Amino acid sequence: MTINSGATASRRAFLQVGAGVMLSSALPLEPARAAAAGYRLRTMPAHASLAGPQHPQTAVWAYDGKVPGPLLRARQGEPMRIVVENRLDEATTVHWHGIRLPFAMDGVPGLTQAPIAPGESFVYEFTPPDAGTFWYHPHADSLRQLGRGLAGALIVEERRAVEVDRDLLWVLADWRLRPDAQVAGGFGNRMEAAMAGRVGNTVTLNGAVSDAEPVRAGERVRLRLVNASLARIMALRFEKHRPVVVAVDGQPCDPHEPEDGRVLLGPAMRIDLMLDMQGVPGRRYRVVDDFYDRLAYRLTDLSYADRPPLHPHPFDVAPLRLPPNPLPEPDLVAAEHVELKLQGGMMGGGGHRGSHRAAWAINGHSMTGDGHAQMPPLRTLQLGRSYVLTLRNESAWWHPMHLHGHSFKLLRRNGVTVPHRQWADTVLIAPRETVDVAFVADNPGDWMVHCHVTDHQVSGMMTVLRVA
C-alpha cells in the first residue's frame, strides 16, 4: 500500500513526480483532504481474497468490507472524527491503539462507552498529539472480531513531511484458514489460550498473501510495519538489506539497526523502518519471518525493477531521525513504582485461577474478557505524577503488554538499560524477563493494561490502572 500523498511526499518525491518519474500515477489518486479528517467506518461481513486467486475467497468481518480496513490519515494536532456504524449482528467498539486520546474515546466496552449495538453508530472524536503509525481494532468479542479481519491502520502525519522516496505500509495479519480458505472456528480454545495463543497458518500483507513487493534500486523507503495478528509474534529479516528502526509504536527513537538484523514485532506493535534499497536491479531478496523455531517462512520478496538506481549515490543527505513527539518526560527520581507480575499459563508460575475461563493473572488476579463495567482498578495513579512500571514475567511465554491512553519510555530489560531512547505503548516481554518502563500519568481515566496476545487478554492477563 503506497501512502504517499501531497502532504507526505518528500521534496525529492515531488521533484520526481514533476519529472514524471515514479509516483506519477500514485499521487493523483489521493482524494483532496477536508479540513478535519472525517471518516465513516462500517463494520460488516464481507469477502476477501486472502490466500490468492487459486483459492476461494474468505468470508471475513471487515471495516467497509476491506481487509485491512481503510487507511485512516490524520495530521498531528488536528482533530479527527470517525463515525463507526455497526453492521455486524453483534456489538462492537473501536480502540485507537496507541493514540493518546480522552478516556471516553478509548473504545473499551463497559469501561469507556456502551458497546455499539448492531445497527447503531458511535462518533469518535479526538486530536492525535503524536505523529506516527497507529492502528485501530475492535475491543469487543476481540478474539473473533479481530481474528475474522477487523483491523486497520491509522497514520498521523508529521507537521513537516519526512524526506523519503516512498512511504509504504505493510499491515501484517495472521489467519487460521481451513483448506477451503475459510476462517477456522475454535476461537478461545483453552489449551491454546494457556500457551502461545491462536497462532494461525497464513500471514497476509495488506490483506493478501504476498509473493513480491516491487521496489527500485537506490530508493529510500519508509516502511511502516503493523502486526495486527491475534497472537503471532514476528521477527523479520530483510535478506542483504540493512533496515534502520526510526520509530517504535509510532514514537520516534534514535535511528538504529535492529539487534541481529531481526525486526521483532509482537501483536499490536508497530515499527517504522528506513530501508535503503541497495540491491541489484532485476533481482529479488527474501523477507523472512523466523520468530518461531523451525517455523520460518518467507513473508514476501523485495523485487527490484530492472532499472538503474533512482539516485546516483547512496543516502547521505536526508536525516534518518524523525521529528520528536510531545511526550511528557517522566521524572525518574520522583517516580513511584508499580509492579505487575504476569502469571499463569502452562508451565507458568502461580497457578492462579480467578474464574472458570481464567488461564492468566496479573498480581494474582484474573480479569477476563474485553472490558466491562465496574472493573476495579488495581491501583490509582496520581494525575501528573511519574511512574515506573515493572512488568515481571513469571511465566514461560511471551507477552506483548499494552497500556492504554499513554506511551511509556522503555527503561530496562532485566536491569540492562534499553538503548536508543525508545518509547512504546506495547512492549514485548520474553519468558521470565522483567521490563521497566516509565511514564507520566497525565491522562485521567481508567486505563487498561493487558497482554495483546488476545487469548491471554481474554483469559485473564488484563488489569486497570486509574489515573485520577
d(CA 409, CA 436): 9
CB atoms within 10 A of CB 369: 18
How near is the Cβ of 360 to Cu ion at its closest, in Å? Answer: 7
Closest residue to bound ligand C2O by CB = 97
The one among 97, 100, 144, 341 contacting ligand C2O by CB under 6 A: 97
Segment near ligand C2O (CB under 6 A); pick from 182-190, 361-369, 406-414, 448-456? 448-456
CA-to-CA dists, residue 287 to 57, 67, 132, 300, angstroms: 25, 22, 23, 5
The one among 268, 269, 275, 359 contacting ligand C2O by CB under 6 A: 268
d(CA 154, CA 75): 11
Stretch 436-465 residues interacting with Cu ion (CB under 5 A) = 451, 453, 456
Could you tell me the three cell numbers for 206? 495488506
**Using an 8 Å Cβ cutoff, are 7 and 150 in contact?**
no
- Residue 281 or 431: the one with the smaller Cβ distance to Cu ion is 431
Stretch 379-408 residues interacting with ligand C2O (CB under 6 A) = 402, 404
- Residue 409 or 452: the one with the smaller Cβ distance to ligand C2O is 452
- Residue 100 or 399: the one with the smaller Cβ distance to Cu ion is 399
Residue 311: burial class (beta carbons within 10 Å; 0-12, 13-18, 19+): middle
Residue 448 binding partner per list ligand C2O, Cu ion, none, with a CB distance cut-off of 5 to 8 Å that depends on partner kind: ligand C2O
Stretch 343-402 residues interacting with Cu ion (CB under 5 A) = 399
How near is the Cβ of 366 to Cu ion at its closest, in Å? Answer: 13
Return the DSSP state at 308.
Answer: -
Indicate whether 448 belongs to the interface with ligand C2O (CB under 6 A): yes
Closest to 158 measured CA to CA, from 318, 5, 317: 5
d(CA 344, CA 366): 10
**Using an 8 Å Cβ cutoff, are 159 and 77 in contact?**
yes
The one among 198, 220, 450, 456 contacting ligand C2O by CB under 6 A: 450
Stretch 100-139 residues interacting with ligand C2O (CB under 6 A) = 137, 139
| Beta carbons within 8 Å of 395's beta carbon, 6+ residues apart | 342, 343, 344, 345, 347, 348, 349, 360, 431, 432
Indicate whether 456 belongs to the interface with ligand C2O (CB under 6 A): no
The residues binding ligand C2O (CB under 6 A) are 95, 97, 137, 139, 268, 402, 404, 448, 450, 452
